[in-house]
Amino acid sequence: TVNPESIASLTGSLDLARTLFFVSSKSGTTVEPLSLESHFRSSLYAIATATGSGTGPGPSSPAPGSGAGRRNFVALTDPGTPLSERARAGEFGTWVATPEDVGGRFSALSAFGMMPAAAAGMDLHRFAESAALMAQQCQGDAKGNPGLQLGAFLAANALEGRDKVTLITPPEHAIFGMWVEQLLAESTGKEGKGLVPIAGEPLLQPESYGNDRQFVVIETARSEELQFQQTAGELESAGHPVLVVKASGPDKHGVAGEFFRWQFATAAAASLMDIYPFDQPDVEAAKIRARELLSDLDQDLDTVPLADALRSLEDIVPPAYVALIAFLPESANLTGAFSSLRRAISEKTGVATTFGYGPRYLHSIGQLYKGGPRNAVVLGFVSGKYDDLAVPGASYTFGQLSLAQAGGDFAVMAERGQKVMPIRLGDSRTENPSRELIDATEQVFG
């Protein structure tokens, strides 16, 4: 996130001197992690100055050339990037070189995924064993190859018009669904084609789903097996294609096997759909537009009233879908309000919905929105008020960065043929954006 309210809240909740920060960027230039790094280095510098425990956190801090807090930062980036050069110059406690020939969304089993997993206490031997076992299984022929079976299912249904890959997961796999969302969207969402991953959607009655859906039900040892079997059976009875995937392993280490299964499946599906899965040609356009907006901070974002935007959705039908984007401080209440809106939209219209917080979605499903099928209706929510929080060393605040990223991406999506409606949610008169969204949902959809 670069939302100033979220950053300020997180900063206040952490014991910064005892916190390890992973600064991860393949290119070494990604604006979000570098801006957050500057913020936390500056915060550590302030602590060091106040306590007399050091002279500053490093060359990018307000006090150049010093070392307090340096050990708190680990750089993960490819060799030869600006971030790696800073690491070589001694600005980080550790630099981990990441593989240049592995794309970001395929890097969960590289240092980008393994280092945080190790820091969180995962047993890397068991983690790697799970991935190796799945890799071995994916070497076989089609009948016994779990990755190829999944990829063929995804592609075959998409080629018949069922491109909305709806993931049904137990609660413990909810975050995994977000990872799959990025993998599918960035790998296939280009040249006007692509798989549209639907993750985190409320479970609906079978008749509320359109004929553009396919379902992947992820079943774990801990999930309620009978409940999942019943859900899969009801969907199949309603005529929807369903694939039940039994997750690897009995515990959390099994997720490594699922990483490999889905990466293999994504590459296979893309090949069957005649899509090259290893680039993301439309991501850079939004970054360029955001930089242009940051150079002219007087530009404003034209918005539409929330209720008017919601009413405009009442007549849409599949294969169109609604993309909800929130450049807002993430919270359980706000996520719940958007979940209620997703349910209301689908029950009223039968169309699928996606949801993501900005700017995270830019690195996830954003490629699909710009390069994939031109049938999205995008509701882009920005805050009606942004508290000022400076980005150390920059000429703009986090709030201005957030608005520039929103405005840049909204403009590029509209240029690529999507219908985009920017909406301001919450202002000086509305202290509860969740309530505002719930009230509008009830007003329009009942």
pLDDT at 64: 33
Please tell me whether residues 407 and 428 are part of one structural domain.
Answer: yes
User: Is 107 within a domain?
Assistant: no
User: Is 436 within a domain?
Assistant: yes
User: Is 235 within a domain?
Assistant: yes
CA distances from 339 to 165, 201, 345, 346 (A): 18, 7, 10, 11
User: Is 148 within a domain?
Assistant: yes
**Location of structure tokens 């991953």:** 197
pLDDT at 385: 77
Residue 373's nearest CA partner among 351, 346, 348, 350 is 351
pLDDT at 227: 74
Give the domain-ending residue among 42, 66, 101: 101
Tell me the whole-structure pTM to 2 decimals: 0.94
User: Is 318 within a domain?
Assistant: yes
Confidence bin at 142 (pLDDT 50/70/90): confident
Please tell me whether residues 313 and 374 are part of one structural domain.
Answer: yes
What is the pLDDT averaged over residues 97-125?
Answer: 94
Please tell me whether residues 232 and 206 are part of one structural domain.
Answer: yes
Please tell me whether residues 427 and 294 are part of one structural domain.
Answer: yes
pLDDT at 225: 62
What DSSP string describes 136-185?
A: HHTTS-GGG-HHHHHHHHHHHHHHTT--EEEEE--GGGHHHHHHHHHHHH
Please tell me whether residues 290 and 395 are part of one structural domain.
Answer: yes
Please tell me whether residues 268 and 174 are part of one structural domain.
Answer: yes
Q: What is the CATH number of the domain that holds 306?
A: 3.40.50.10490
Q: pLDDT digit string (tens) for 334-365?
A: 999 999 999 999 999 999 999 999 999 999 99
Give the domain-ending residue among 272, 305, 334: 272
Q: Which of 253-257, 364-368, 427-431 has the lowest mean pLDDT?
A: 427-431
**Cα dihedral: 118, 172, 329, 322 (round 10):** 130
Amino acid, res. 321? Y
The answer, yes or no, to whether the previous bond of 171 is cis (omega within 30 of 0) is no
Please tell me whether residues 432 and 295 are part of one structural domain.
Answer: yes
pLDDT beyond 70 at 62: no
Q: pLDDT digit string (tens) for 190-212?
A: 999 999 999 999 999 999 999 99
Please tell me whether residues 313 and 407 are part of one structural domain.
Answer: yes
Confidence bin at 296 (pLDDT 50/70/90): confident
Please tell me whether residues 220 and 302 are part of one structural domain.
Answer: no
What mean pLDDT, rounded, does the chain reach? Answer: 92
- Collapsing DSSP to helix, strand or coil, 242 comes out as strand
Kindly report the backbone phi and psi dihedral angles of residue 202, in degrees, each rounded to the nearest multiple of 5, phi listed first: -60, 145
Please tell me whether residues 52 and 93 are part of one structural domain.
Answer: yes
Q: pLDDT digit string (tens) for 2-57?
A: 999 999 999 999 999 999 999 999 999 999 999 999 999 999 988 888 877 654 44
Please tell me whether residues 222 and 309 are part of one structural domain.
Answer: no
User: Is 278 within a domain?
Assistant: no
User: Is 322 within a domain?
Assistant: yes
Give the domain-ending residue among 272, 298, 315: 272
Instruction: Give the bridge partners for 419, in sequence order.
Output: 377
Please tell me whether residues 85 and 195 are part of one structural domain.
Answer: no
User: Is 315 within a domain?
Assistant: yes
Range of the domain at 23: 4-101
What is the pLDDT averaged over residues 58-76?
Answer: 64
How many Cα atoms are found within 13 Å in the side-chain-facing hemisphere of 23? 32
Amino acid, res. 218? I
Confidence bin at 161 (pLDDT 50/70/90): very high
- Buried b / exposed e over 363-387, threshold 16 CB at 10 Å, is bbbbbbbbbbbebbbbbbbbbbebe
**How many domains, in total, are found in the chain?**
3
**CB atoms closer than 10 angstroms to residue 320:** 18
